[in-house]
Amino acid sequence: MKTFNIALIPGDGIGPEVVAEGVKILKAIESLDSEISFTFTEFSWGCEYYLENGRMMAEDGIERLRAFDAIYLGAVGYPGVPDHISLWDLLLRIRKEFDQYVNIRPITLLNPSLTPLKDKTEKEIDFLVIRENSEGEYAGAGDWLFKGKPEEVVLQTGVFSRKGTERIIRYAYEEARKSKRTLTSISKGNALNYSMVFWDEVFEEVGKEYPDVQTYSYLVDAASLYFVTEPERFEVVVTSNLFGDILTDIGAAITGGMGLATGANINPERNFPSMFEPVHGSAPDISGKGIANPIAAIWSVSQMMDFFGKEQWGATILATIKEILKEKESLTPDLGGTATTQELGDRIVEILCIQAAKEGVAPL
Ligand SMILES: NC(=O)c1ccc[n+]([C@@H]2O[C@H](COP(=O)([O-])OP(=O)(O)OC[C@H]3O[C@@H](n4cnc5c(N)ncnc54)[C@H](O)[C@@H]3O)[C@@H](O)[C@H]2O)c1
């Protein structure tokens, strides 16, 4: 029996609503598989905590998270707390302190009815974006000079270290090699004449060690176009922090929206806990209504199980999501259904049990 210790940070808005459904899935797995158990420790950090304590997480928060096997996060950010504070003092702090330098975001169409793209099916939209997650344009480097004066100047510096650039590109080459897929680098060397010229050079340099991997290189503007017009061009994609953030929202748009987009923040060396979260935010416009789509958060659980080396459970959760997407009436309103968050979560657990028995992962 292996016990995985999970830190829960449900966060703000719909975060707690969707994390509750992800925990249901983990508990279902625990009840179906005698070889796995989980412990859950919840931390009530986020914007409410900030309004009471003047900080987004406890002072020793990073230390308290350090020993966990994984962090499962809902979403952070809420009106009343500036977004740059909520993001930097919790989410980005955890990513940086725990060196979660790989952000894995699958762009996979799970049901043809979910894409707004005419004539595109599951076959044409199935790729993986590997986003640099520790530096680049989100390094937090810069300055704000002459604030409020006519000569005011702000600087936001993109930081691309050799170590940081090489390791993410190498990770992507390894993934492409392992899965026998092509690798596309997305950059902007024509306009960003230092950082992206360097990125392109490193992509070529590292590529010499991977002659078996077929590569492509696109400018981010052309890549944005292809995401919509020819998503079948992509298999594994590697890109910088900012470009990855933006491109994966296009990815979400072509695969069913924010309610279905997931992301894993990985420290591949496993020196620190990795973090699993839906890509969406706290959705203040629908929070408290019980209609948030929990599927992205549940897909994060699939990524977590893969990371724990329990790939069969990861695949079973994904197969379950595919099944539920065929039942329109069981879905939340963003996907055209009428179910509540909890009803959808409960139905997913039911299907998971059936699916697990079918695949021989666990008895019915
Ligand atoms: N990872 C994070 O924690 C994260 C990511 C993005 C935004 N944010 C924060 O969240 C807050 C709101 O940001 P936003 O409105 O730009 O983005 P958002 O993702 O919260 O919402 C965008 C739109 O998508 C819808 N949506 C999002 N998730 C959904 C779900 N699970 N089910 C159904 N509909 C869903 C929302 O209702 C909204 O219309 C801000 O404070 C922002 O900083 C946090």
As given in the structure block, the two tokens for residue 346 are 């409960």
Distance 281 CA to ligand 1 centre (A): 3
User: In this predicted model, what pLDDT tens digit does every residue of 270-322 receive, in sequence order?
Assistant: 999 999 999 999 999 999 999 999 999 999 999 999 999 999 999 999 999 99
Distance 170 CA to ligand 1 centre (A): 31
Distance 268 CA to ligand 1 centre (A): 27
- Nearest residue by C-alpha to atom 21 in ligand 1: 283
Domain spans of the chain?
A: 1-104+256-364, 116-254
- Nearest residue by C-alpha to atom 29 in ligand 1: 259
Distance 280 CA to ligand 1 centre (A): 5
Mapping DSSP onto H, E and C, the string for 267-326 reads CCCCCCCEEEEECCCCCCCCCCCCCCCCHHHHHHHHHHHHHCCCHHHHHHHHHHHHHHCC
1-104+256-364 carries CATH number 3.40.50.2300: no
In angstroms, the Cα distances linking 241 to 92, 125, 145, 296, 333 are 12, 22, 25, 20, 31
- Nearest residue by C-alpha to atom 23 in ligand 1: 283
**Residue 218: closest CA among 207, 226, 208:** 226
pTM, two decimals, is 0.94
Give the torsion through C-alpha atoms of 281, 283, 287, 289, to 10 deg: -120
- Nearest residue by C-alpha to atom 41 in ligand 1: 77
Q: Which residues contact 97 (CB under 8 A, 6 or more apart)?
A: 62, 272
- Residues touching ligand 1 (Cβ under 6 Å) are 14, 18, 75-78, 83, 87, 91, 258-259, 277, 280-286, 292-293, 296, 334
- Nearest residue by C-alpha to atom 15 in ligand 1: 283
116-254 carries CATH number 3.40.718.10: yes
Phi, psi (rounded to 5 degrees) for 71:
-115, 130
As given in the structure block, the two tokens for residue 187 are 């950059």
* Nearest ligand 1 atom to alpha carbon 78: 41
User: Hey, do 1-104+256-364 and 116-254 end up sharing a CATH topology, with the first three levels equal?
Assistant: yes
Top mutation candidate among 19, 56, 249, 258 for ligand 1, by most atoms within 8 Å of CB:
258
Residue pLDDT tens, the chain, 364 long: 899 999 999 999 999 999 999 999 999 999 999 999 999 999 999 999 999 999 999 999 999 999 999 999 999 999 999 999 999 999 999 999 999 999 999 999 999 999 999 999 999 999 999 999 999 999 989 999 999 999 999 999 999 999 999 999 999 999 999 999 999 999 999 999 999 999 999 999 999 999 999 999 999 999 999 999 999 999 999 999 999 999 999 999 999 999 999 999 999 999 999 999 999 999 999 999 999 999 999 999 999 999 999 999 999 999 999 999 999 999 999 999 999 999 999 999 999 999 998 887 775 5
